[in-house]
Amino acid sequence: MEHSTHQFSELFQQLGLPSTPQAVQSFISAHAPIPAAMRLEDAAFWSASQARLLSELMLQDADWSALVDQLNAALH
């Protein structure tokens, strides 16, 4: 299994969100859980550009998709 070369904080930076460990935890606590059947990018709290970025990251690069998967699991 390949390990991600990106950090979770970098994903939050890409999304334009505060990226300190405390900010990440606070974001997850504030927005979890999302409905089990809901796709991560369809959650109402994302802007259109954030949702589009999440979709693109899942499709284009395994390193980023692993982090998006982690975020998905944390929010579900």
Is the residue at 60 inside a domain?
yes
Q: What's the CA gap between 20 and 34, in Å, rounded?
A: 22
Is the residue at 65 inside a domain?
yes
**Is the per-residue pLDDT at 4 higher than 80?**
no
Is the residue at 48 inside a domain?
yes
Is the residue at 9 inside a domain?
no
**Is the per-residue pLDDT at 1 higher than 50?**
no
Q: What is the mean pLDDT of residues 4-30?
A: 92
Dihedral, 9, 71, 55, 65 alpha carbons, nearest 10 = 80
Contact 52, 14 (CB under 8 A): no
**Mapping DSSP to helix (H, G, I), strand (E, B) and coil, where does residue 7 land?**
coil
Is the residue at 58 inside a domain?
yes
pLDDT band at 71 (very low <50, low <70, confident <90, very high): very high
Is the residue at 57 inside a domain?
yes
Is the residue at 27 inside a domain?
yes
